[in-house]
Every structure is written in structure tokens, then in C-alpha cells.
Amino acid sequence: MSETIKKDTQEILQEISLLKASDIFVVAGRPLSYRLNNQIREYSGEKLMPEDTMRIIQDIYALASHRSISPLTDQGDDDFSFALPGVSRFRVNTYMQRGSAAAVIRIISFTLPSPQELGIPEGIIRLGELNKGMVLVTGTAGSGKSTTLACIIDYINKNREKHIITLEDPLEYLHRHEKSIVSQREITTDTVSYISALRASLRQSPDVILLGEMRDYETMQVAMTAAETGHLIFSSLHTTGAANTIDRIIDVFPANQQKQISVQLSMVLQCIISQQLVPAADGGRIPVFEIMTMNPALRNMIRERKIPQIEGQIYNSASDTMCSMDSSLLKLFRSGRITRQTALDYAANPEMLMRNLGR
């Protein structure tokens, strides 16, 4: 066993956190690794053996207030979070692979960076000024959805007197009570499931509900009903683009309910933000956003199931409240923040963007 593998697990977490990495990978058969600027790098040269990964993972469970390891050993995977004072917070997924224990650990800063530092437009943060309805933040895993939502919640907390309830699996950013009261509930630790926590939250005098993820039609139905009854709902979906997100929500429901859901969604939806992280010209990564803020024309398209027309409506707009992913990429390229190739690689319509780049 190498000297690096013999290191104290807490020391390893601290050292990798200082590197500003985003994730740590503990998998048998390869060295302990971490992700930095979307590149996977080795922390040690020595391959981890199954007994090494189990020892590190047992240490992590001990650091997480001696959490029981039985969900991993009995069910094959587990999600939880914990903090090391003075170091960072960590979101952990442990799982079994090829008979050995493995883990991916997301590193989360104690302090939420300012939206300006992160590159989140002010128009997105000011969605926290809404009084009711539903706001969805979408994108692939690791695209920064949770951070964007946390920044909006932080804005509400600092500027408005509200009761905010967050339902997350697991908790990521911790919010102190400021102007608002913030109740943060972790799924499986504080409550059984998203749907039971969401139903209970409606009896807890909420003004704002953050639903970490809408996973099934039952959760979506309760969330839309909550938005209809005067609550402000924020949630996320693993989709790309506003039109795809609307299709995904409607298609989750049985065919005989889809017309009703289309009408309901057209009334409660306030905004869909779709985001991705792309390589910045000077290193690191930068977020790019598609923003669709609802207007009467869009509400009618959703109600009438004319979803394909939505993309054209967004593509032909260019404002703080309505812009396509490609127009955001073009803007970043023209300001020198990303390269031409990056703009084309991440474009929704590369051919159209190439013509615009040519101009």
C-alpha cells in the first residue's frame, strides 16, 4: 500500500479541496482521482485495491457523524452529505461496482460565491422577486443547476421576509436565517421522500419551496398544484432546452391527463432556465444559459401543445428575459470569453451559429 493511500482520509479530502477540485473519485483498479476544470487527474500513482476503497469509504461514513453504512451494503448505493469544519461540505454517492465499494464525492464550498463571480445573469437571480408560480432550472448532471438555485434562494433570504422550505437529496449549500426563515430538509434523513415532504410542506406555511428535483409525475402534479395555490416553486430537471423540458413534463403523465396538464402548466410556469458549463478561453469553466420567460404567446403554445414553435420564439428573441443557448454562446465568443470552437461544440444549432459567427 502506497504512502498516499495510507494517508488519513480527512487529510486527503482537505488537500483535494484546496486544489479547487469539483469531484473526488474512489474506485478500485485506478488511483484516487479528482476532477478539476472538467479534467480527471490522479491524486496518487498507486492503484486502489478493494480493501483500500472500503477503508476510505468507512472513514467517510465515520466523518459523516458515524452514519450507518448499511444502505450501501444492503441496497448497493447511498446518498448523503457532511461537512468538515474549516474545509468544505461534501455531497457523497457511494455504490458497489464489480463487487467492491466505490464513491464519488462532490466538493461544495461553505460560502456561496456571488452570482457575478459565477457568471449568473442578474435577470435569473431576480426571479426570486416573483410571488408565485413555477421556475425550472434544467441541464445535465454537473451543469451547475444546484448552484444557480442556491443563489436565487440566497437572494430571497437576504432581501425578502419569507418562509423558504428546501427539499434536497442530499443537502448541498446551507443557508443561515437572514430576512427569511429557511427550513432545509434532507430526503431520507429528515423525511421519507420528495412527495411526502412536498405534501407536508404545504401545511408548513411556506412562501417559497425549493424542490431539489422533479422525478415523477406525482411529484410534478403536487408541485404544479402548489404553484397554482399561490406558492413560488423552484425545481430542476435533467433536460436540455425549454421545449424539451415542457415535452418531458407533459409526456410523464398518462395520455388521458396530458391535455389537462398542458393547460395547468401553461398557467403556473413562470420561467425555464437551461444551462451548461463550457470551457472558458482563459481556463476554467463558464456557465451559459438559455432563458425562456413566459408571455401570452408562449402560454398559448403550451396550452395548444404547439411545443416545436417555442424554440423559434426563443431563437428570435435576444433580451435579459428571453434568449437562446446559441445567442448566449455567440455573446460570450464576441466578448472573448470562449473560443469559436467551444461555441460551435456546445451549440444547439451549430450550422446556424456558424453563419452568425461568419458575420
* pLDDT tens for each residue of 119-158: 999 999 999 999 999 999 999 988 999 999 999 999 999 9
Predicted pLDDT at 153: 97
Predicted pLDDT at 2: 47
Single out the residue of 281, 277, 287 nearest to residue 38, CA to CA: 277
In this structure, what are the phi and psi dihedrals at residue 288, rounded to the nearest 5 degrees?
-125, 140
284: left (phi over 0), alpha (psi -120 to 50) or beta: left
Q: State the burial class of residue 241 (Cβ atoms within 10 Å of its Cβ: 0-12, 13-18, 19+).
A: buried
pTM: predicted TM-score of the whole model, two decimal places: 0.85
**pLDDT, the chain, mean:** 93
Domains of the chain: 3-108 (3.30.450.90), 115-323 (3.40.50.300)
Q: Are 124 and 291 in contact (CB under 8 A)?
A: yes
* pLDDT tens for each residue of 28-81: 999 999 999 888 999 988 999 999 999 999 999 999 999 999 999 999 999 998
Higher-confidence residue of 252 and 7: namely 252
Residues 6+ apart with CB under 8 A from 116: none
